[in-house]
Amino acid sequence: MPLYQWLFFDADGTLFDYERAEAVALAQAFQRSGIPFQSDFLKVYRRINQNLWQTLEKGLITPDVLKVRRFELLFATTGIAHSPTDFGAIYLECLAEGSELIDGALETLDVLRRNYRMAIVTNGLQAVQRARLARSVIRGHISEIIISEEIGFAKPALEFFDAAFARLGNPSKREVLMIGDNWISDIQGASQYGMDTCWFNPRRQPRPDKPEITFEVASLREITQWLK
């Protein structure tokens, strides 16, 4: 078993229950904006948002563009006449309040903190990620948080991992394990950088042939069976 010094955790979908927070935040933002909310808005928004995040991870748009563009497209699709800039700001405030964890996250970090230092490495937005970590019960478990919006590069870019390693004093890549649910940004990105990887795969999706990974878990608690 490699002797890791650091564990890199993705945030959304790995530690934080992003789908739940997203659904609640969108409904709250509509309410606070005085716009009637329909349940099918969430499905439309998620499709738009996912496409834009994939575009951002390719380096084709900036976080500032994404924050507004997703609501421009949502309102154009649903026929809503409202400022996407104003709505986007309200939505981020609501999303930052959603610090609910994935099942098993707290218990897993309680065990791992005995022998490892842990960092969050995320493509999320600064205003959301720092606020939700500050109010989360796991805030004392996390030594560093590296956010793509702050450093100017997003996973899976090698520059993102360069910045993350520099923040930690440039440990050996052999001493760091990446744990995340996104195959492209977390697993492929870290593997291409030369790190060991643990794919968090709660939906038990088929594993792609490449790259090779070090571990695969369907539950965060399984990690403690490998790492003591």
Per the prediction, the chain carries an average pLDDT of: 96
Which tokens is 185 given? 């940004």
Q: pLDDT tens-digit profile of 143-158?
A: 999 999 999 999 999 9
Catalytic residue among 10, 12, 181, 186: 10
Side-chain half-sphere CA neighbours of 168 within 13 A: 25
Low-confidence residues of the chain, pLDDT below 70? 1-2
What pLDDT is recorded for position 3?
Answer: 86
- Distance between CA atoms of 10 and 104, rounded to whole angstroms? 15
How many CB atoms are located within 10 Å of the residue 98 CB? 21
Please say if 10 is a catalytic residue. Answer: yes
What pLDDT is recorded for position 183?
Answer: 97
The boundaries of every CATH 1.10.150.240 domain in the chain are: 18-96
- Distance between CA atoms of 118 and 112, rounded to whole angstroms? 8
What single-letter amino acid sits at 219? S
Name the architecture of domain 6-16+101-226.
Answer: 3-Layer(aba) Sandwich (3.40)
What pLDDT is recorded for position 171?
Answer: 96
The boundaries of every CATH 3.40.50.1000 domain in the chain are: 6-16+101-226
Q: What is the pTM of this model?
A: 0.93
What pLDDT is recorded for position 37?
Answer: 97
Residue entry with tokens 């996390």 = 142
Which tokens is 170 given? 């440039």
Nearest alpha carbon to residue 144 among 127, 125, 159, 166: 166
What pLDDT is recorded for position 174?
Answer: 95
Q: pLDDT tens-digit profile of 23-55?
A: 999 999 999 999 999 999 999 999 999 999 999
18-96 has which fold?
A: DNA polymerase; domain 1 (1.10.150)
What pLDDT is recorded for position 2?
Answer: 64
